[in-house]
Structure 1
Amino acid sequence: MGELNSHQIARIILKMRYETATEEEKRVLEAWMKAGKGRQTIYDRIVSDESLKEYRDLKAEFDGATDYGKLQSDILGTLAKRDRQRKLQRISWWGGSVAAVLLVVCLFVYKYAGEPLPEKMGEMRVAKIESEPIIQDKVILVLGDGKRVGMQGLHKDSLRLKSAVVVGAEAKLVYDANTGQGAEDVSLEPEINKVITSTGGFYSLILSDGTRIWLNSESELEYPVFFGKGERRVKLVGEAFFEVTPDVARPFIVEANEIRTRVLGTSFNIKAYKDESDIYATLFTGKVAVEPLADTTRKVILQPGKQAGWDVQARKLSVREVNLDRVMAWKEGMFMFNKENIEVVTRQIERWYGVKFIYQVKDRNQYTFNGYFSKDETLESILDAFTYTGGPKFRKEGDTVYVTDPL
């Protein structure tokens, strides 16, 4: 086998990590590490959390150089042109969750070992998507008249759905504020849209004010098509990451189950699933106020790196410092766990793979998990990794996974 490029080496390293590499692949990787100075050190860094941090830093550099407000205007101003796919190519590469960990590894091998990258980095992802069947109902757009549109089944380069535009192969929603009629008239009832992601779904959209939102699986976001002069208010069930366009005169408000988060312009994450005992609001940049809907006097102000947690049963609001990489992991296409209880872990897996876990163990609290995994991994490979690191045994039968103590 000849000298491999970074993409091929990255795949073998990932297989080694999840113990799925063949004997031939193991020999190839061993030969690669011996053939270059410092490659063993590179391998050690790749399998540590440092790779995730560096990937986020690289992505932040890219995002910082991209004017998304201008990008939105460019998209909406060139709907009739057929070269849209070329103009969006550089952001679509970063846009989704597929093969995120592979990208991390590939960047490390390229940066520190000098291995050649594939001629077209986008091929790492596009080829994979084209080989998978399109599922019509993982992402649903509900229009103001109640019409439901399956977003994953749209193939067109661009498609106008009333006041929204579905853009490119990534099928992002972009709302055009310039086409709003009566948006400034507070006497008119605003048109409300809703995006719903089911098991394994992931979606991103740009609201009419330029705010960017990423929606995790099994989540719902309800929002007006156009914002008037007052507050910009949306409702969330599930999990979403927000990058809010600053507007001092119009605060942005997110209502999520029992808490309300109020911002002017910042980036933050909210996790508010109905089957979880806690609701979390985590601040990345700027400043936000978080308060229980039932008692606004218990408001807390968050600084970057802080997380507000609302205990649904105890009716208690608390603040703590958190690892932002772990909070962000889902948006980058990863599961990331830090001494998480098995029930917390399996609830996340259920939302992505569409399975149900049945416990047949003596004590669920004895099992906790560390590490991170790509959402592009098979369910079986992740469960095997849990077992190999001292976890329980898993037996899958259809859409049910039985959890038992090891013999």
Structure 2
Amino acid sequence: MQRISKLFIKRISSRLSTDEEAELQAWRDESEENRRLYERLTDPSYVKAQLDLWQMVDSERSCREMQLEVDRIRRRSRLKSYGVSMAALIAVALGIGVFLYNNIGVGSDGVHMAEVPKKYQTVQTVDEIKPGSTRAMLSDAAGHKVVLNESDTAKVATVLLTTENADSLERNLCLEVPRGGEFKIQLEDGTEVWLNSSSRLYYPKTFSGDVRKVRIEGEAYLAVATDSLRPFYVETDNQQIRVYGTEFNVRYYPDETEVYTTLERGKVSLSRLDEPDAELFLTPGHQAVFRTADQRVRVRPVNTDVVTSWRKGRFVFEHQTLMRIMQDLSRWYDFEYEFTDDSLRGEEFMGSIPRYSDFTTAIAILEKCGGIKFSVSDGKVIVSRSGQ
């Protein structure tokens, strides 16, 4: 794969010889995965996406091989192809998975994750705030990373990560959806997972042994494939969900004080990680609320259509506090906010907002509910009472 990566870099920076072009084409025709990877790495929009990823990572910690390659190409090329900069070559190298980064942390199950800075977009007016899009970043235990968009699948993403690292025994993956993003994947067993903004899914490339287990941070909706011989488990904050072939929503954001498990259909049980035998069973139409402070749980009936509305293209608020509404909107539209009056945080609202509408539409709906207004100051959205 190192040879192929060099051919890609040369193809962008200068021109391939006839033999080199034939070699690259032969590699492309070897498999469907190679063909899709070829098309991906010659797509200018993908190059730009990889460049965005590179800019999130501390470039001073890039490995020595990358720097040597960049220096070599800089001396001999002006990089006219695609109209991209030198950094675009680095982006392509990221996509191939040739180069590794040292600024990585270790996630659940030994998965290494690049720590994405908690950066909000700086805005001058509410008109600049746009809805999120389908995008994510996938990493493996070896530190390889690849940016994904709406045309990608879990299968293609895994190929991108593991081709260079084919001999590695590590196959744990982490799919991270940033602020302003969402993503859906299908796991190896057929289970489908929808991830909301600012969420992570830790999972293996293949489920081995007699159990299937994943870990979630953030919010996800799961449609779990039935397998009577291999139960499916979802871990959150000291809580374990055992799934019996079902569809449910789980919300666990580390900066929130409660974990919400909402069952739409089927059956699940919940238990603490340190007490796996003490199971609490949920029936459809109910939500378990696990308080992280004292690790107590309560169960209540809910309208599941409201809880899962984010997956269906809407924000639906039913007696929802303004604080919770702003948490959800800020993750999806990617902005920072503050209240001028703390008493606003606990005020409740009812309503529905199209998920893919501009932020101006969203706040117009909230403002019509009465009593609040939105403005921008110092790059933040300011929430205040009307008349202030």
Q: Aligning the two structures, in what range does the TM-score lie when normalised by the shorter sequence? A: 0.5 to 0.7
Deviation at 1:137, TM superposition (A): 9.9
- Seen in structure 2, the aligned counterparts of structure 1 residues 328 and 248 have a Cα distance that, compared at 3 Å, is same
Deviation at 1:401, TM superposition (A): 0.9
Q: How does 1:1-400 map to 2 (within 5 A)?
A: 138-152=135-149, 160-163=156-159, 190-296=170-276, 298-361=278-341, 363-364=343-344, 367-397=347-377, 399-400=379-380
SS across alignment from 2:143: coil
Contact 2:176/2:201, CA 8 A, preserved across alignment: yes
Give the share of equivalent positions with the same residue, in percent.
Answer: 28
1:268-300: per-residue Cα shift (whole Å, max 9, x none)? 111111121110111112111111224335421
SS across alignment from 1:249: coil
Deviation at 1:158, TM superposition (A): 11
Instruction: Give the whole-Å Cα distance in 2 for the aligned partners of 1:319 and 1:367.
Output: 23
Deviation at 1:229, TM superposition (A): 2.6
**1:401 to 2:381 alignment:** yes
- Seen in structure 2, the aligned counterparts of structure 1 residues 252 and 404 have a Cα distance that, compared at 3 Å, is same
Contact 2:174/2:200, CA 8 A, preserved across alignment: yes
Amino acid at match of 1:222: Y
Instruction: Give the whole-Å Cα distance in 1 for the aligned partners of 2:289 and 2:364.
Output: 32
Amino acid at match of 2:227: D
- Seen in structure 2, the aligned counterparts of structure 1 residues 161 and 366 have a Cα distance that, compared at 3 Å, is closer
- Seen in structure 2, the aligned counterparts of structure 1 residues 158 and 313 have a Cα distance that, compared at 3 Å, is closer
SS across alignment from 1:363: helix
- Seen in structure 2, the aligned counterparts of structure 1 residues 390 and 366 have a Cα distance that, compared at 3 Å, is farther
SS across alignment from 1:210: coil
1:318-372: per-residue Cα shift (whole Å, max 9, x none)? 1111101011101112111011111011000111111112111152256221111
Instruction: Give the whole-Å Cα distance in 1 for the aligned partners of 2:368 and 2:214.
Output: 43
Deviation at 1:236, TM superposition (A): 0.5
SS across alignment from 2:181: coil
TM-score (norm 1): 0.58
Instruction: Give the whole-Å Cα distance in 1 for the aligned partners of 2:189 and 2:154.
Output: 20
Deviation at 1:307, TM superposition (A): 1.2
Deviation at 1:189, TM superposition (A): 5.2
Instruction: Give the whole-Å Cα distance in 2 for the aligned partners of 1:376 and 1:276.
Output: 25
Instruction: Give the whole-Å Cα distance in 2 for the aligned partners of 1:227 and 1:297.
Output: 23
- Seen in structure 2, the aligned counterparts of structure 1 residues 381 and 155 have a Cα distance that, compared at 3 Å, is closer
- Identify the residue that residue 19 of structure 1 maps to in structure 2: none
Contact 1:358/1:403, CA 8 A, preserved across alignment: yes
Aligned Cα RMSD in Å?
3.2
- Seen in structure 2, the aligned counterparts of structure 1 residues 366 and 240 have a Cα distance that, compared at 3 Å, is closer
- Seen in structure 2, the aligned counterparts of structure 1 residues 299 and 240 have a Cα distance that, compared at 3 Å, is same
TM-score (norm 2): 0.61
- Seen in structure 2, the aligned counterparts of structure 1 residues 360 and 319 have a Cα distance that, compared at 3 Å, is same
Instruction: Give the whole-Å Cα distance in 2 for the aligned partners of 1:244 and 1:234.
Output: 11
- Seen in structure 2, the aligned counterparts of structure 1 residues 146 and 78 have a Cα distance that, compared at 3 Å, is closer
Instruction: Give the whole-Å Cα distance in 1 for the aligned partners of 2:158 and 2:296.
Output: 43
1:358-406: per-residue Cα shift (whole Å, max 9, x none)? 1111522562211111111111221122122113121123641112222
SS across alignment from 1:299: strand
SS across alignment from 1:151: strand
- Identify the residue that residue 23 of structure 1 maps to in structure 2: none
Instruction: Give the whole-Å Cα distance in 2 for the aligned partners of 1:234 and 1:157.
Output: 18
SS across alignment from 1:257: coil
Deviation at 1:254, TM superposition (A): 0.4
Amino acid at match of 1:234: V
* Structure 1 stretches of 4+ moved >3 Å: 77-82, 135-138, 154-165, 294-298
Instruction: Give the whole-Å Cα distance in 2 for the aligned partners of 1:323 and 1:137.
Output: 26
- Seen in structure 2, the aligned counterparts of structure 1 residues 203 and 136 have a Cα distance that, compared at 3 Å, is closer
Deviation at 1:156, TM superposition (A): 7.9
Deviation at 1:145, TM superposition (A): 2.0
Contact 1:250/1:264, CA 8 A, preserved across alignment: no
- Seen in structure 2, the aligned counterparts of structure 1 residues 81 and 141 have a Cα distance that, compared at 3 Å, is closer
1:176-218: per-residue Cα shift (whole Å, max 9, x none)? xxxxx99xxxxx9551011100111111111111111111110
SS across alignment from 2:180: coil
Instruction: Give the whole-Å Cα distance in 2 for the aligned partners of 1:295 and 1:230.
Output: 20
- What count of residue pairs does the alignment treat as equivalent? 261
